[in-house]
Structure 1
Amino acid sequence: MQQTSLATTGFELAAKRTRKRAFLAEMDQVIPWSDLLALIAPHAPAGRTGRPPFAIEVMLRIHLLQQFFGHSDPAMEEALHDIPLYREFAHLDAGITRLPDESTILRFRHLLEQHDLGQQILALVNAQLTERGLMLKQGTVIDATLISAPSSTKNHSGERDPEMHQTKKGNQWHFGMKTHIGVDADSGLVHTVTTTAANAHDITQAHALLHGQEEVVFADSGYRGVHKREEVQAQHPDVDWQIAMMPGQRKAMDQSQPVNALKEQLEQIKASIRAKVEHPFRVIKCQFGHRKVRYRGLAKNTSQLLVMFALSNLWMVRKRILQALQA
């Protein structure tokens, strides 16, 4: 006779507070669930026939789990079956008879894309952070990063994604897309996101990355001459553009001259401010593991990135939010 396992008799070991469990516990407290659900609820299907649909909160939690850990729709379905912690975070009770399958997960993602809810989620999160005094609007830092896409043509269509493109950075070629962001110069929180094919120049998106209330904008040397562009002069004529000096020009300065020494100090100050734009990129690439696109086309990937940057904003200020909640 097979011996009964203690894992099925109610004598389970106490759950260790692993890094993944601690991460999900913190995010569970700082995510504004009620406001997000109110945002999505008007667009959710009624489900009057057939099996009752899963609760919106359950599907939203599963969607955010995908962003946290980089799961595709099929992988997310399997993870829900395999990992109790995921079911716990998604509020799927132990006695539930079925779990959302990959088609259900996909339909919820399409719901967010169809109604442009990714942009609204980012705006909602930023509005709450602004109310808490965590995001100011006097300055902006802008930058872009490359996100790789599959370059192989061994797929059902026999071609690469037509909305992606290749570009050369340094001595290496990259195929994929660019994510352009505008972040708050004080906190480093993302307020604006745009996407393009990888071969688009960073400067073409500069005007779209400003919210219109900033007085000064910081950018690297790739944006030199941005103040002369027509769209910038038309939409943001009063902005003070602080563009980094070209590296070669900066290296050639004679530091023994007092004027050049002051210029070097100014460049160091500008560089310390610009460094804040790299923090959100680090969160989505290292913390969330998003180094390659998950879908074909810019629209789907943009919707995903908007949600991820909303989550990265919450992640970056989670300690301050939790301290305020405990006070």
Structure 2
Amino acid sequence: MHARGHSATEPGGGMGVLQRAYGLACDNLRSVEIVTADGAVRTASRDEHADLFWALRGGGRGLGVVTSFEFDLHPVGPQVAKALVLYPYEQAGQVLRAWRDLVPALPDTVSPEFVLWSIPPDPQIPAGMHGQRVVMVAGVYAGPAAEGAAVLAPLAGLGTVLMDASGIADYATMQGELDAAFPAGGRYLFKSHFMTEITDAAVDAMIACDAGRPNPQSLMVIRSLGGAVARVGQDESAFAHRGARYNLSIDAGWTDPARDAEMVGWARSSWAALRPFGTGGVYVNFAGLEDDTDDADDAAVYGRGARRLDAVRAAYDPDALFDVAARRPRPTGGPR
């Protein structure tokens, strides 16, 4: 597939609902057309400008202006089996422990997610449930839709089911179902930790942080890694977190500027409280604001590839034209 558009670069990896089956978005990148600081139009791939291609696969911003991407394709859909199960908020600890124990037993064709959120105003959900705090467990089967229900069924056995919206869905439509919950122009702050395990203490700490969540729009998400993500070599791309099994994301979303301090404070305090349970690594797409540098320095974001990434930036942008763009971006959009 060859898609044209405009971007600062390929993002910091690109997590998705099929990542354990097919890897991150950057793992499926075949080539990039990019305008570098000298005004030259270059094509970066494994065979051309390989150092630049390495950096574009997970290096965030600051390398140039991307004018097109070429990606590998995989057979998915158009119909897929999905799981979306809601559990009572009071069972959050029980469900998260059960989810944690289940994930290693599921095949790589499923990339399960665990979410603490409040039910958005979805017309398919009874209005009386809108805004109610719940536990959500989700997953998509990367295979024939008819096979998926049996594989996904264990996700509906983690507690007392409040609502089960699992079934067959159009894959392309499903990808945009949450867009309304993250409107353009909103105010967002996403912070994250990578984790190798979810201990009972981590479960309790996450739930305690979520208990102070200031509004229904904000949420906390754990995404499962491993599978195809872990099968890419540690030095094959600038994405530095191949050994992590989970990514925990603290997503603050709001609209009123008067709540900035409150919302930023919740995200930062929750991140700090959960820091002991992480690897020390941070996902560049969920790395906070520009003044969160103490929480997410280059070593935390890029690991041992940080110096190599600096060298690539210096080679293609010796005058630091993209210096501002090289800093971690302020999150402005959706949840990935």
Answer 1 or 2: which has greater strand percent.
2
Using the size of structure 1 for normalisation, the TM-score is: 0.27
Using the size of structure 2 for normalisation, the TM-score is: 0.27
Max Rg structure = 1
Answer 1 or 2: which has greater helix percent.
1
